[in-house]
Amino acid sequence: MSSPAAIALDHVTKVYDKPVVSDISLEVPEGSFVTVLGPSGSGKSTILQIIGGFLQPTAGRILFAGTDMTALPPNKRPCNTIFQDLGLFPHMTVAENVAYGLKVRGVDPATRRKCTAEMLAIVALEGYERRPIHQLSGGQRQRVALARALVLDPAVLLLDEPLTGLDERLRQQLRGEISRLHRRLGATILAVTHNQDEALSLSDRIIVLRAGRIEQIGTPREIFERPANAFVARFVGFDAILKPECVDSGIADWHARVAGRDIRCEPPVSRDPANGYVLVLRPERIRIAHPKERSDLGPLTVISTAYKGRDVEVESRLVDGQALKFLISADSGVAVPASGSSIEIVWEPIKPLLLPDALVEP
């Protein structure tokens, strides 16, 4: 590696009653946008607080640009956090909020004013300098928080669930905003979120976290297309999951047997997993076979159907008792099967992925 990462976690562990973060090592390269993705309770906020200096790790080190800063308090670290509820100063105006960090650092008033004005222009809040915080909309508050952190030109910007709690329109608008700021300022950003869309659309790199452990690190495409295991797969939308009776390695394709049917699969990346394999598919890639068509799996009994707007979700059961949910496009013209009817399904030319079964809590 040419230059050290902006942030590196070196075997970081945090234990309360039990470990919430276990032996995590990760790197955020200079100028990159890295997202820690995980469900609530996975330890992602703890990681952010450890990096920010608000929590001390039980073991391990935090390095900023190669320098160990594990023992430094928050105000001595070259990073800034946008907290989930922002933490704007209610007794200050917009400009005072943005200039706060500069003032604390002893920057002279003229420079302070200049930097503040520039940053407010970047987040499109010119003219709002003297507004009190309680007169701002939710989106404007988010932008004040961004400006307040970015004006300090931090080595790393930490985002804690940046888009949580906003309505959909605002979420999309801000997503664009963050992405634009990242590109324009070249800032290094580490975000934590439980939202896969957010992670996929913003990040250069995603770290999937589960119960304090890293499940996979990869680019959004890698995570999205080649999830490392069933947990990650489900997290990025592979919701149709089947447990095979047996799996055979073939020459080109692998073969798995499900409910007596032979299914061609993509060759797995990892071999001989401890808990065996599962087959995963995206539910929107499955369709009901025409009567004369050769099906990939069947017969299945339709348990129920639910209208979901663009799609209809079909809940079905295989003869071996395994449940399978999939989606059929509502405007595809395909008739919605009646509950209790027997169907066959097709997913060719796509082939299911064979992934290590990791759905059981470790």
Partner 1 sequence: MPREPGPDESAGAGLRPAGFLLALPSLAVFVGVGFIPLALIATWSFWSFDPDTYWIKPAWSFASYAALLDNGRATVFLRTAGLAALTATASTLLAVPAAAVVGLLSGPRRAALLLALFTIPFFTSGLVRAFAWRLVLGRQGVINNALMSLGIVETPVEWLLFSDFAVLMGMVAAYLPFAIVPIVLAFARIEHSVIRASQDLGAGFWTVLATIVLPLVLPGIVAGFLFVFVAAVGTSMEVQLLGGAGASSISIMIDDVLRVVNFPLAFAIATVVVTVLTVLIIIANRALRLSRLFESLGI
Q: Which residues bind partner 1 (CB under 8 A)?
A: 52-54, 73-75, 80-81, 83-91, 100-101, 104-105, 145, 148-149, 152
The Cα–Cα gap between 49 and 84 comes to 12
CA 12 – CA 192 distance, rounded (Å):
17
The answer to whether 327 and 287 are in contact (CB under 8 A) is: no
- When the beta carbons of 83 and 231 are compared against partner 1, the nearer one is 83
Nearer to partner 1, 64 or 277 (CB): 64
When the beta carbons of 147 and 181 are compared against partner 1, the nearer one is: 147
**Tokens coding 161:** 């669930």
**Taking the mean position of all CA atoms in its chain, how far away is CA 243?**
26
Residue 39 beta carbon to partner 1: minimum distance, rounded to whole angstroms: 22
Q: Which is nearer to partner 1, 6 or 258 (CB)?
A: 6
**Using a CB cutoff of 8 Å and minimum separation of 24, what contacts does 358-361 make?**
358/215, 358/229, 358/230, 358/231, 358/232, 358/273, 358/275, 359/230, 359/231, 359/234, 359/241, 359/278, 360/275, 361/211
Give least dist CB 81 to partner 1, A.
5
**C-alpha span between 338 and 123 (Å, rounded):** 53
Q: How far is the CB of 46 from partner 1 (least distance, A)?
A: 14
135 conformational bin, left if phi > 0, alpha if psi -120 to 50, beta if neither: alpha
The distance of closest approach from Cβ of residue 4 to partner 1 in the complex, given in angstroms and rounded to an integer, is 23
Closer residue to partner 1 (CB): 48 or 345: 48
What's the distance, CA 77 to chain centroid? 25
CB of 131 to partner 1, least distance (A): 17
Nearest distance in Å: CB 331, partner 1: 37
Residues 6 or more apart whose Cβ sits within 8 Å of residue 225:
none
Distance CA 63, CA 30 (A): 13
In the bound state with partner 1, the residue whose beta carbon lies nearer, of 33 and 100, is: 100
**Residue 197 beta carbon to partner 1: minimum distance, rounded to whole angstroms:** 25
Our CB check for partner 1 shows the closer of 88 and 280 to be 88
Work out how close the CB of 109 gets to partner 1 at its nearest, in angstroms, rounded to a whole number: 15
Q: What amino acid occupies position 80?
A: N
Nearer to partner 1 among residue 55 and residue 185 (C-beta): 55
Q: What are 178's strand-pairing partners?
A: none
Structure tokens at 274: 């401890």
Q: Give the amino acid at 53.
A: G
Question: Could you tell me which of 46, 54, 47 has the C-alpha nearest to residue 72?
Answer: 54
